[in-house]
Amino acid sequence: MNILFATSEAAPFSKTGGLGDVCGALPRELAKLGHRPVVVLPAFRQVKLSGMPIEPTGVSVDVPIGQKMVRGQYLRSTLPDSDVPVILIEQPEYYDRPQPYREHGEDYKDNCERFVFYCRAALEAISRLGLPVDVVHCHDWCAGLVPAYLKTLYGRLEPWRGLTSVLTIHNLAYQGNFWHWDMALTGLDWKYFNWRQMEFYGNLSFLKTGVAFADAITTVSPSYAREILSPPLSCGFEGILQNRVGDLSGIINGVDYNEWNPAADRYLEGNCYDEHTYPAGKAACKRELQRLVDLPVQADVPMLAAISRLADQKGFDLITRVMRHWAERVDAQWVILGTGEPKYHEALGSLAKEFPDRVAVRLEFSDELAHRIEAGADIFVMPSQYEPCGLNQLYSLKYGTVPVVRATGGLRDTVVNATRQTLDDGTATGFSFEEYTSQALAEALDRACRAVREKAVWNQLVETGMRQDWSWRHSAERYADLYERTAARGPLAVE
């Protein structure tokens, strides 16, 4: 099939989070399956500085934005290690900025205009560049107007006639909501500004528009697809999502095992390991990590780790409370890597100063250190308030670093809680808890640390986790099946 990816991010061109990883990896995996994807991105400054080879096409596009006409240019490149084309929409006034969406803690005031232009220019690329397309796969709010345009302004015209759309919600909390008068910028009839389609509490909502008009809707895990049907994770969208529940499904994100594989990790040097050699390999990686972060080299002390954005959503209110209690009373080491909210920078920094032999904190992001932590730690801590999919727990499974997670979203779908039954039947891969409290997290961590000392149980958990296959191939096969079913059904009727 011919699939156009309408997305604002695709690694290594642009990335602010998981969206970039998905749209950089999934098209390449689809290509391996024999499909023909093409990725269409805004040419953000980040894209221009990515180091990827970019060429002009010589083709321009004029897009009506309200009462004015805005011109852009199409550039081209390819995803690395593939033949997957990447089309870049260049419009310096909109996209040549320090950050893709916001600066100094505030969204750009013209984001509505910027992404109206993107959505229409992405669709115009089909005609102007002669792109064969069967399905348009739209990602998050930035591409949310594309399904509406396919059903309205473009739906009866060639070459767009009959095209279907799939919308993936990576995180429902990011909705692309704007002043209602911005509706005039879209070129769409005001009749669509109603509570069933584009209006959301008096505002124009790009994401709600996508949900209303897309032919199929996915999220990045089956549990998250269920959780967003009701408050609080529905974020106000419960009505429209319940109305579309028959077209809603969840597909777990995959892992790029070329990048995240302890048997061939370029950062581990001579300490690479697999499911057969992990006892010696992880022990060596743990020693190296302890030296690297200035913790005492102690083989028998459990090392707990978190790599994350330091935010409430990621459970750092729980983590910081438990860390203080444990640092005072429990013989364990903690290593934290990430940046985020200032209150957590302060709290974690204070803990590291107060307990230098038990707490190491690096307020930065380092890809190398992230790999070394996954390889060297014993336990990975992920007590998220909500987690649409999550990737670090999948990396941890591959690296034999047993995850302790809250049972929500993709964490519920990918980590099997260690109970007597799951240990007996050989399916347990980690520890999970339900209630969002520091006590529940502490109890789960205590179970994990007790298991560390039971070598047979711990080895079973590690080996079962390392044998899991969360590669992109499985996800790509499910997406390909969804594309085929959606295209065969044809565009759904619109009111």
* pTM of structure: 0.93
Q: What is the CA radius of gyration of the chain?
A: 23
Residues 322 and 440 both lie in one domain: yes
Q: What is the DSSP string of 357-390?
A: TTEEEE-S--HHHHHHHHHH-SEEEE--S--SS-
Residues 300 and 215 both lie in one domain: no
Residues 407 and 389 both lie in one domain: yes
Residues 453 and 483 both lie in one domain: no
Query: Rounded to a whole number, what is the largest CA-CA distance in the chain?
Result: 70
CATH number of the domain enclosing 453:
3.40.50.2000
pLDDT of 495 reads 73
Element (H, E) at 56: strand 55-65
Is 304 part of a structural domain of the chain? yes
Is 260 part of a structural domain of the chain? no
CA atoms of 145 and 143, how far apart (whole Å) = 6
Q: What does DSSP assign to residue 256?
A: -
pLDDT of 493 reads 86
CA atoms of 411 and 395, how far apart (whole Å) = 12
Residues 388 and 425 both lie in one domain: yes
Is 259 part of a structural domain of the chain? no
- Tens-level pLDDT at each residue, the chain (495 residues): 999 999 999 999 998 888 998 999 999 999 999 999 999 999 999 999 999 999 999 999 999 999 999 999 999 999 999 999 999 999 999 999 999 999 888 999 999 999 999 999 999 999 999 999 999 999 999 999 999 999 999 999 999 999 999 999 999 999 999 999 999 999 999 999 999 999 999 999 999 999 999 999 999 999 999 999 999 999 999 999 999 999 999 999 999 998 899 999 999 989 999 999 999 999 999 999 999 999 999 999 999 999 999 999 999 999 999 999 999 988 999 999 999 999 999 999 999 999 999 999 999 989 899 999 999 999 999 999 999 999 999 999 999 999 999 999 999 999 999 999 999 999 999 999 999 999 999 999 999 999 999 999 999 999 999 999 999 999 999 999 999 999 999 999 887
Is 158 part of a structural domain of the chain? yes
Residues 246 and 281 both lie in one domain: no
What beta strand segments (E) does 434-485 contain?
none
Residues 466 and 480 both lie in one domain: no
Residues 180 and 52 both lie in one domain: yes
Q: Which two tokens stand for residue 25?
A: 């990896």
pLDDT of 58 reads 97
Q: Per-residue b/e over 104-135, b at no fewer than 16 CB within 10 Å?
A: eeeeeebbbbbbbbbbbbbbbbbeebebebbb
Residues 288 and 225 both lie in one domain: no
Is 430 part of a structural domain of the chain? yes
CA atoms of 42 and 90, how far apart (whole Å) = 7
pLDDT of 213 reads 98
Q: Which two tokens stand for residue 253?
A: 């994100």
Residues 457 and 480 both lie in one domain: no
Domain that holds residue 90: 2-254+473-489
Residues 152 and 242 both lie in one domain: yes
pLDDT of 105 reads 81
CA atoms of 422 and 429, how far apart (whole Å) = 9
Q: Are 12 and 50 a contacting pair, CB within 8 Å? A: yes
Is 334 part of a structural domain of the chain? yes
Is 264 part of a structural domain of the chain? no
CA atoms of 107 and 137, how far apart (whole Å) = 25
Residue with structure tokens 């050699």? 277
Is 494 part of a structural domain of the chain? no
Residues 226 and 210 both lie in one domain: yes
Domain count, the chain: 2
